[in-house]
Amino acid sequence: MLSADRYFDPSPAVRDIARRLYQRVAGLPLVCPHGHVDPRMLAENTPFPDPAALLVIPDHYVTRMLYSQGIPLERLGVPSLDGTPVETDPRKIWQIFADHFYLFRGTPSGCWLTHELQDVFGVTEPMNGATAQRIYDQIASQLAKPEFRPQALFDRFNIEVLCTTDAATDTLEYHKQIRDSGWKANVRPTFRPDRAVDLLNPAWREEISRLGKTTGQEITNYSRYIAALEDRRRFFKQMGATATDHAVVVPYTGELAMRDVEALFDRALRGEASPEDNFKFSGHMLMELARMSVEDGLVMQIHPGSLRNHNRAVFARFGPDRGCDIPLATEYTRNLQALLNKFGNDPRFMLVLFTLDETTYSRELAPIAGHYPAVRLGPPWWFNDSLEGMERFRRQATETAGLYNTAGFNDDTRAFPSIPARHGLCRRVAANFLAGLVARHVIDLPDAEAAVVDVSYNLVRQTYRLAK
């Protein structure tokens, strides 16, 4: 069912080289420096409950597409915050999913799911309304086996390292539990303090209070706030973190004078921060967080340009991460100038930039990464983590940024069993892209053979400071 040549250019002149290049990386361990796998799942290692709970309900790539065609999220079993009853029979949810599996034709979810079903669960018949329940049975019976528990899958997937994403106030208890368990997996936290930085988030005040408790000193002013963040970074680093992550709407950077930021922070504590305050604070904090990264060596990631929870009715009923975040045009050249001028030439600093606005690849991001020593380009993110999206990235960024200012792949997923499918797709696209360069005589085969390993394995380890 899965062709050995899948995702390669069908022209033999390229495909034959792509095959050869892919062979060099197909078996390399998976490096997962950025993602949303729940560490509790790995720590507790309890069996996955059922196929719908594993593959449909929590995957907003899947539920979003079904919703876009008129299927209410309630019918898909997505848990509601407001008490609205939702479907609880996983077989009914699975049937809807299978009835509409044709919606995923030509999408990355379609590719990943097809790969997962076959390679992880051994499903060999196509998914549709008629086969739905048979496939359900097959997956359910697999999930009951010990070799389908999370830790067994982690080992089978050949994951060299997996980094989770954790709030500044997270206790990292499941990371401790994994460490203490004797299981030899390399699972690391990532410091993502968004909730403590976004002054307009309704949960900000509570997060600041939690931050004070966690660090043992109430946060009554800006200096204590900064000290608390630094304290948590030290803790994360002790727990194995090598990176931080920051989501902002606009990647504006700019330092405020100390007295101004202190006054602004006081307003925020009193619940009086304005949108303009929040914008300035975001720009100031990116500077501060970059300064901390220079000092403690944690790699800084910035993920800008998503307007979260665009659909307020869905957000009100089902909460965040339900597929209703919509990207915005994003400007980097002027917005990042302050940060790059202050830290971009510093050899201690590593900054990984992401985007949902592909127009910035050739216009802004590749020129920035092709100049500033601190900058690496993150792989195509979210909607663009796809066959065509990765090809556009390589075609639009490589000529100006080069291959070596890119940060390798990350799967950015909470869908644990999709990890091999995602890395496999990326490695195939990389092999195919480099094969195209060889076939057009832009580079020669030995160069491509070295580059495919760098792009698929070495660069991500170097960028995220994960190389042993």
Site residues for its own copies, window 8-27 (CB under 8 A)?
8-14
Residue 104 as a binder of its own copies (CB under 8 A): the answer is yes
Specify the residue, 70 or 146, whose C-beta has the smaller distance to its own copies: 70
Residue 254 as a binder of its own copies (CB under 8 A): the answer is no
Judge contact between 56 and 94, C-beta under 8 A. yes
Judge contact between 193 and 232, C-beta under 8 A. yes
* Binding test (CB under 8 A) with its own copies, winner from 193, 344, 408, 420: 344
The whole-angstrom separation of Cα 155 and Cα 416 is 12
Residue 377 as a binder of its own copies (CB under 8 A): the answer is no
The whole-angstrom separation of Cα 301 and Cα 465 is 13
The whole-angstrom separation of Cα 123 and Cα 30 is 23
Q: What is the DSSP letter of 34?
A: S
User: Burial level of 267, CB count in 10 A (0-12/13-18/19+)?
Assistant: middle
* Binding test (CB under 8 A) with its own copies, winner from 82, 184, 271, 329: 329
Residue 68 as a binder of its own copies (CB under 8 A): the answer is yes
To the nearest whole angstrom, how small is the minimum distance from the Cβ of residue 453 to its own copies?
12
End-to-end Cα spacing for the chain: 37
To the nearest whole angstrom, how small is the minimum distance from the Cβ of residue 91 to its own copies?
24
Residue 359 as a binder of its own copies (CB under 8 A): the answer is yes
The whole-angstrom separation of Cα 448 and Cα 89 is 50
User: Burial level of 31, CB count in 10 A (0-12/13-18/19+)?
Assistant: buried
The whole-angstrom separation of Cα 386 and Cα 72 is 26
To the nearest whole angstrom, how small is the minimum distance from the Cβ of residue 13 to its own copies?
4
Residue 312 as a binder of its own copies (CB under 8 A): the answer is yes
Specify the residue, 122 or 126, whose C-beta has the smaller distance to its own copies: 126
To the nearest whole angstrom, how small is the minimum distance from the Cβ of residue 159 to its own copies?
25
User: Burial level of 444, CB count in 10 A (0-12/13-18/19+)?
Assistant: exposed
Specify the residue, 1 or 152, whose C-beta has the smaller distance to its own copies: 1
* Binding test (CB under 8 A) with its own copies, winner from 87, 116, 357, 411: 357
To the nearest whole angstrom, how small is the minimum distance from the Cβ of residue 346 to its own copies?
10
Specify the residue, 277 or 325, whose C-beta has the smaller distance to its own copies: 325
Residue 450 as a binder of its own copies (CB under 8 A): the answer is yes
Residue 347 as a binder of its own copies (CB under 8 A): the answer is yes
How many residues line the site for its own copies (CB under 8 A)?
Answer: 95
Residue 299 as a binder of its own copies (CB under 8 A): the answer is no
Residue 126 as a binder of its own copies (CB under 8 A): the answer is yes
What pairing do the DSSP bridges indicate for beta strands 326-327 and 351-353? Answer: unpaired
The whole-angstrom separation of Cα 253 and Cα 334 is 9
